[in-house]
Amino acid sequence: MEKRVVFRSASLPYLLVLPQIAITLIFFIWPALQAISSSFYREDAFGLSRDFVWLQNFERLFADAAYLASMQTTAVFSLGVAALSMGVALVFATMADHVIRGATAYKTLLIWPYAVAPAVAGVLWLFMFAPTVGIVSFALGQIGIDWNIRTDGDDAMLLVIVAAAWKQISYNFLFFLAGLQSIPKSLIEAAAIDGAGPGKRFWTIVFPLLSPTTFFLLVINVVYAFFDTFGIIHSITDGGPGSPGATNILVFKVFSDGFIALNLGSSAAQSVILMAIVITLTVVQFRYIEKKVHY
């Protein structure tokens, strides 16, 4: 049954949603339009003159090896973050699902990293892995592993992936745990009676039933890796090492091209592309969730 609130005055509902609309317009729509319009211009570094260049900014981007490299870096980074954080979260959630005593404390502790700001998380991991002062780098050096995020691009990539994934594990954990707990216990029992051992039960019953959650989290994590990891990259590697930067993901490149190199037109064009990507992901997400999921 659907319950609708009916307002007697026609203007009241609009008045009530006005603040939300105002915020959306001022902080989201307006900057987005600004970015779209800037992407059609070429501007000098001092903002004294601008030329309308049609789609030249975009054409140049797709012809630019550095930009294509950054796309590839982003793909590796976001898939790495999504896979690592979701994998670890799923393991934790499966174990937490079995915990009876102290379950609440356990869950609360697992959720803490989510509250850490990206830049702080970045600094934390940097301190552990910095080539000169990092305790983990030192320990690795002692056992003969040469770990240096300042010189080795793969080392740097690995570290930012781990740092970014670490922050996201809590979030994924919560969703996976909720997903696991919504699977009726009798299904697991029925599978046990049908002869399936714990591993078989997980892969043939639990995992398929979690697939809506998994898909949802995949999109969320990719979006997170695309956009919310700027602070981590900025504080740990600054997009480096090397040129093109081994960890120079798209969102970081928007920043460095726009605010460091002051190539505003190109930076705006890059943000428009990112916008298109996130809109696509969101649409896919909604479509899928509307269609499937309900067992």
Nearest approach in angstroms of CB 209 to another protein is 6
The CB-of-90 to another protein minimum distance in angstroms stands at 18
DSSP 112: G
The residue among 128 and 196 lying less far from another protein, judged by its C-beta, is 196
What count of other Cβ atoms lies within 10 Å of the Cβ of residue 29?
11
Bridge partners, 52 (sequence order): 41
Site for another protein contains 144 (CB under 8 A):
no
Q: How many CA atoms lie within 13 Å of 193's alpha carbon, on the beta-carbon side?
A: 5
If the CB atoms of residues 52 and 295 are measured against another protein, the closer one turns out to be 295
Nearest CA among 72, 112, 76 for reference residue 92 = 112
CB of 285 to another protein, least distance (A): 20
Beta carbons within 8 Å of 142's beta carbon, 6+ residues apart: none
103 near another protein, judged by CB under 8 A:
no
24-83 residues near another protein, rule: CB under 8 A? none
Those residues whose C-beta lies under 8 Å from the C-beta of residue 68, and which sit 6 or more positions away, are 62
Considering only residues 174 to 213 of the shown chain, the ones binding another protein according to CB under 8 A are 184, 186-187, 189-197, 200, 204-205, 208-209
User: Considering beta carbons, is residue 21 or 190 the nearer one to another protein?
Assistant: 190
**Between residues 112 and 295, which has the closer beta carbon with respect to another protein?**
295
**Cα 7 from Cα 217, distance rounded (Å):** 37
Of 13 and 184, which CB lies nearer to another protein in the complex structure? 184
Min dist. Cβ of residue 187 to another protein (A): 5
| For another protein, the closer CB: 200 or 287 | 200
Q: Which two tokens stand for residue 189?
A: 């029992």
Q: Which residue, chain included where needed, has tokens 């002692």?
A: 142
Q: How far is the CB of 99 from another protein (least distance, A)?
A: 14
The C-alpha angle with vertex 284 and arms to 278 and 288, in degrees rounded to 5, equals 150
* Least distance from another protein to the Cβ atom of residue 197, Å: 7
Q: Give the number of residues in contact with another protein, rule: CB under 8 A.
A: 19
Structure letter (DSSP) for residue 99: -
Q: How far is the CB of 284 from another protein (least distance, A)?
A: 21
12 vs 100, which CB is nearer to another protein? 100
Residue 239 makes CB contacts below 8 A (sequence gap 6+) with: 233, 245, 247, 248, 249, 252, 253, 256
Q: Which residues bind another protein (CB under 8 A)?
A: 184, 186-187, 189-197, 200, 204-205, 208-209, 294-295
